[in-house]
């Protein structure tokens, strides 16, 4: 988890892996979205690709940029990222799959 002061910028990188540890390439998803949540409240949501949710350098890496405008909305405490991935695969029932991963990504210090 990254420590962040309110009003700071940050770029959070996440490697996408399957259960067996193999890479899960961004191209395997039809939808990728991230919600930033603090104390049960939605602070910001992003859809891929965008300026703030973009491809990383590896084929299975995404980067989430937290700007000063967004981090200014945080209070002291942890921030959770809820990643939602969706895609199509004939091996899944109905040919569609959705994966939701929720994890704490930031510890925010609200003092300037």
CATH number at residue 65: 2.60.40.1930
Which domain covers residue 60, as residue numbers? 2-109
What is the pTM assigned to this prediction?
0.87
- The predicted-structure confidence for 49-101, as pLDDT tens digits, reads as follows 999 999 999 999 999 999 999 999 999 999 999 999 888 775 666 667 788 88
Tally the domains of the chain. Answer: 1
- Contact between 64 and 52 under an 8 Å Cβ cutoff? The reply is yes
- Contact between 67 and 2 under an 8 Å Cβ cutoff? The reply is no
- The predicted-structure confidence for 18-53, as pLDDT tens digits, reads as follows 778 888 888 888 899 999 999 999 999 999 999 999
């Amino acid at each position: 988890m990254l420590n962040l002061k309110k009003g700071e910028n940050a770029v959070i990188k996440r490697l996408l892996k399957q259960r067996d540890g193999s890479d899960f390439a961004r191209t395997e998803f039809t939808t990728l979205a991230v919600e930033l949540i603090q104390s049960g409240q939605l602070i910001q949501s992003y859809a891929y690709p965008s300026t703030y949710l973009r491809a990383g350098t590896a084929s299975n890496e995404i980067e989430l940029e937290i700007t000063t405008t967004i981090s200014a909305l945080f209070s002291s405490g942890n921030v959770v990222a809820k990643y939602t991935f969706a895609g199509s695969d004939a091996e899944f029932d109905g040919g569609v799959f959705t994966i939701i991963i929720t994890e704490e990504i930031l510890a925010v210090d609200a003092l300037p």
